[in-house]
Amino acid sequence: MANLDAAFSALADPTRRAILARLALGEATVMELAEPFEMTQPAISRHLKVLEGAGLILRRVEGTKRPCRLAPAAVAEIDQWLAMLRQTLAANYNRLDDVLAEMKTQEKAIP
Amino acid sequence: MANLDAAFSALADPTRRAILARLALGEATVMELAEPFEMTQPAISRHLKVLEGAGLILRRVEGTKRPCRLAPAAVAEIDQWLAMLRQTLAANYNRLDDVLAEMKTQEKAIP
DNA sequence: CCGTTATATAACTGATCTTTTATATAATCG
DNA sequence: CGATTATATAAAAGATCAGTTATATAACGG
């Protein structure tokens, strides 16, 4: 995948997340993916291109159809970045100055 | 957090991801966050507003400063959505038709 | 070969995003 | 109070994006 910009950007769109959720259930053609949306086919084709560009889906050729499926590696790579955040987050969670900062917040927060 | 659109959209920008990575090390003021970037202060202020709007960071008031810190809940919520994907992905990983699809891919893929 | 089906591409529009400069606000220090 | 520091906001320019319609490509079924 290699491109977090593209990946997160692709995930920022609800239509694309819905497409991914659908693909998580199994392979589907462009028409099958387009069906539940109130959107034209070219619009869906574009979304698929974005998802493919981000490395989130893969496609094969089957006659005139081009079935899509999830690229399992992508989810893992995003997780990896989040894990980095989460880890440092957890490491700092018990540090004294964070606790103090939290207490100050309680006192000083604007109403 | 409640808004995946805003969260993923916020994460799509490398400057904002860098800010989050910096904040994972601990609280920082706007000026401290702006320093490593070749970008004006208003630009950073805007990025922070986006991150705050997405629920990824929290801020407090300390005199004329407004120190930022990570909102631990946000990372968890994004993870949750990815976990959903990952789970269905794993569940389908061993299904026969996926295996067959994979084999077809090997045969039919365009060079 | 012809019509149909599945999908892609192009051109265009309106909206949204990033960044800049210039300016405002508001707390602090002397 | 007056200058400085920390941050926010506004206006504007340029880029990018999501969606549309219209059209192209290309495989299939008869």
- In tens, the pLDDT along B45-73 reads 999 999 999 999 999 999 999 999 999 88
Delineate the domains of chain A, giving CATH numbers in brackets. Answer: 4-108 (1.10.10.10)
Return contacts of B86-91, CB within 8 angstroms, 24+ apart: B86/A75, B86/A76, B86/A79, B88/A21, B88/A24, B88/A25, B89/A24, B89/A70, B89/A72, B89/A75
Smallest CA–CA distance, residue B14 to chain A, in Å, is 7
Q: Cβ contacts of residue B95 below 8 Å, gap of 6+?
A: A26
pTM: 0.84
| Binary contact (A98, B26; C-beta < 8 A) | yes
Q: Which nucleotide is the nearest neighbour of B43, by CA and C1'? A: C19
Using the beta-carbon criterion (under 8 Å), do B60 and A89 form an inter-chain contact?
no
pLDDT tens by residue, A8-48: 999 999 999 999 999 998 899 999 999 999 999 999 999 99
Query: Which of residues 5-64 of B have CB within 7 Å of strand D?
Result: 29-32, 41-42, 45-46, 48-49, 59, 64
pLDDT at site A106: 44
**Under an 8 A CB cutoff, do A14 and B26 touch?**
no
- The owner of tokens 């893929």 is B109
> For residues B95 and B99, what is the distance between their CA atoms, to the nearest angstrom?
7
- A4, A12, A58 member nearest B5 (Cβ): A12
The pLDDT, as a whole number, for residue B104 is 46
Q: How far apart are alpha carbons B51 and B57 in whole angstroms?
A: 6
What single letter denotes the amino acid at residue A24? A
Hey, is the C-beta of B62 within 8 angstroms of any chain A C-beta? yes
